[in-house]
Amino acid sequence: MRKKHKINWPFHAMLFPGVLLVFVYCYIPMAGIMIAFQKFNPGKGVFHSPWVGWDNFRFVFAMEDTLQVIYNTVFIAVLKIVVGFVVPILFALLLNEVRKTLFKRTVQTLVYLPHFMSWVILGGILVDILSPSNGLVGKAISFLGLEPVFFLGRNDWFPFVLVLSDVWKEFGFGTIVYLAALTSINPSLYEAAKIDGANRWKQTIHISIPGIVPMIVLVGTLSLGNVLNAGFDQVYNLYSPLVYERGDIIDTLIYRLGLESAQYGVATALGLFKSLVSFVLIATSYFVAYRFANYRIF
Amino acid sequence: MSRFKITGLQAFQWFNYAFLSVAAFLCLVPIIHVLALSLSSASAAGAGEVLLWPVEFTLSSYKFVIMKEQFLQGTWVSAQRVVLGTAINCLLTILIAYPLSKSSRSFRSRSVYAWYFVFTMLFGGGLIPHYITVKSTGLIDSIWALVLPTAVPVFNVILLLNFFRSLPKEVEESGLIDGASHFRIMWSIYVPLAMPAIATITLFSLVGHWNSWFDGIIFMNDPHNYPLQSYLQTILIKRDVSFITPEEVKTLIHVSERTSKAAQVFVATLPILLIYPFLQRYFVSGIVLGSVKE
């Protein structure tokens, strides 16, 4: 027993700095959720602010915007999950049919690009190209003889602009896992199918797609944890009061309540609501992935 | 006759190449448009004549940008945070991934530690408690506020620990028999063997730090301390004009707001454009490693 202890001390020493930093910047904020039950006053701090029970939660859910904001969040997030799930699969299957290596590699490199750009940069670019007066898209629409639309200022368009631009940014990166799964399919399966007279379409249906089904199931399951994540970075950099009605999401509301209006208790209460629901969703999705896709986190 | 016959497969191949080319082009269009705008004259950009090629070519926007104090200051803060933050991220990731890659038999507390880190991916305190914690540790207006709260990237830890576990056990055993300490084995054997995975996590940290903007906005009271992306957020999105100094107003006669913004966007994206294609091999294998485990 003593000997074992002796061997293990370097492990504890290696882990110590990480454990400490995670404790301070992840676990202490978790304890900070008690602000949700306080009338928090920054001058008095967490330990001396008065307790108010469930008042902050009552206030949040009595606000007329809250339910609409939750609806917006789920609407935008679910659309992103569905479209962002399907597009990479189709794109990977199409890319897999390309036999010219140079072409394939070039396309891959180009479609990965948007993933590496921040929403500040892309937000700035989108604001510019979607400008109805002299933006690139406005020009194209005028060229077709139609009336340019102020996409970022219209409640009926805004959620779809979010979904479309998010899918555009991430679909390329999403193909990586499927392309890897496709290349790991045993080539002799295709050979055998060819001998049996299967054409390319039949090969796709009966070999390629079954080959990536485990990955499809895994990615699909894990994405369920994002039902309340509509994408703060993106929305915050694209929205304006004009589109709060359909474009305001939980995270942006928390930001405005907490850091712009200094309603700390109320904002924390809404944040806690989101964290708890997300926790249940993520834990469920991990459990389902563990049971049915044989997924292990570590 | 048969020379002109197009089979279904050929038709599909043509369609496929065309479709993929268009999709790839669409991913590139925005940055080409920005580059074209930044190299065009103020009047051409203002009139909306610029599409994908500069109109009335000029470098005056770039002359404006390299003189712009706030842009240079932001770049300097970003460079600092990228170097400091990536170094700390990678060091801590290695230090955590190595012991966690051991089996529960040889390191009994492994699961406790692993869940300690993984739990932070499942649940968080939310924005306000996070802000108050960073504030009460005295980091407001300090570069450390951009580095320490995100010092342990748990996703990267999982990625690297899976890579470590895929290495043969004999590697560790031979080291132990030769009398090497665990620190020595980690540093001299595991780290060199894991270079592809370490390249991946380095790229992710680097891009993450370069692109972060929100922490700069909330943790820096003095805009002088803003990293580049936070500063860009204020000029591109909030349309804040307080950053423009009186001297700069004079040069704005030749440089429009639109072309100068385009030049700043392009310069801010350039480092990423130059790095990621060369690390593609690594991040592709890294992503696969992060999602597929035996």
Say if CB B63 and CB B41 are below 8 A apart: no
Nearest to A167 by CA among A121, A229, A96, A114: A114
With beta carbons less than 8 A apart as the criterion, state whether B98 and A14 touch. yes
Q: Which two tokens stand for residue B240?
A: 């804040």
Interchain CB distance below 8 Å, B129 and A114: no
How would residue B254 be classed by pLDDT, with cut points 50, 70 and 90?
low
CA dist., res. B178 & res. B90, Å (int): 27
d(CA B282, CA B275): 12
Is B245 domain-assigned?
Answer: no
Q: What is the pLDDT of residue B169?
A: 87
What is the reported pTM?
A: 0.91
Residue A261 host element (H or E) = none
Distance separating alpha carbons of residues B37 and B52, to the nearest angstrom: 8
B192 found inside a domain: yes
Name every chain B residue with its beta carbon within 8 A of the beta carbon of A200.
9, 12
Residue B97 lies in a domain: yes
pLDDT tens figures, B2-22: 456 667 888 889 999 999 999
- Is B247's pLDDT higher than 80? no
pLDDT band at B243 (very low <50, low <70, confident <90, very high): low
Give the span between the Cα atoms of A5 and A22, in whole angstroms. 24
Residues above pLDDT 90, as percent of chain B: 63
Phi, psi (degrees; rounded to nearest 5) at B32: -65, -40
Contacts of A118 in chain B (CB under 8 A): 210-213, 229
Number of Cβ within a 10 Å radius of residue B209? 25
Cα distance between residue A74 and residue A139, in whole Å: 33
- Residue B90 in any domain: the answer is yes
* Among A282, A277, A278, A267, CA closest to A33: A267
Give the pLDDT of residue B4: 61
Label residue A24 exposed, middle or buried (CB < 10 Å: 0-12, 13-18, 19+): middle
- ipTM summary value: 0.90
Least confident window among B36-40, B41-45, B86-90, B183-187: B41-45
pLDDT for res B253: 59
Q: Cβ(A73)–Cβ(A253) under 8 Å?
A: no
pLDDT score at B44: 87
**Average pLDDT for residues B131-156, to the nearest whole number?**
95
Confidence of residue B294 (pLDDT cuts 50, 70, 90): very low
- The DSSP result for A179-197, as a single string, is HHHHHTS-HHHHHHHHHTT
Residues of chain A predicted below pLDDT 70: 1-7
Residue B1 confidence (pLDDT): 44
Task: Kindly give, in sequence order, each residue whose CB lies less than 8 Å from that of residue A156, ignoring residues fewer than 6 positions away.
Answer: A246
* Homologous superfamily of domain range A65-259: MetI-like (1.10.3720.10)
* Cβ–Cβ < 8 Å for B255, B41: no
Residues of B in contact with A129 (CB under 8 A): 30, 33
Phi-psi region of A91 (alpha: psi -120 to 50; beta: other; left: phi over 0): alpha
Mean pLDDT of B54-61: 91
The domain tally of chain B equals 1
In a domain, B22, yes or no: no
According to DSSP, the residues that pair with A26 across neighbouring strands are: none
How many Å lie between the alpha carbon of B250 and the closest alpha carbon of chain A? 24
Q: What is the C-alpha separation between B131 and B123, in angstroms, rounded?
A: 16
Output the pLDDT for position A285: 92
As a whole number, the mean pLDDT across chain B is: 89
Segment 114-143 of chain B within 8 Å of chain A by CB: 114, 116-118, 120-134, 136-137
Residue B171 neighbours by CB distance under 10 Å: 13
Q: Hey, what amino acid is at B73?
A: Q
Structure tokens at B87: 């170094």
Taking Cα atoms as reference points, which of A244, A264, A282, A265 lies closest to residue A71? A244
CA distance B206 to B82: 6
Which tens digits make up the pLDDT trace of B126-141?
999 999 999 999 999 9
The shortest CB-CB distance from B123 to any of A30, A35, A123 is to A30
User: Domain range for residue B156?
Assistant: 69-222+278-291
Q: Is B27 on the interface with A (CB under 8 A)?
A: yes
Q: Tell me: pLDDT of B24 over 90.
A: yes
Distance to chain A for B226, nearest Cα, Å:
14
- In the prediction, which pLDDT does A128 show? 87
Q: Which residue of A has its CA nearest to B273?
A: A113
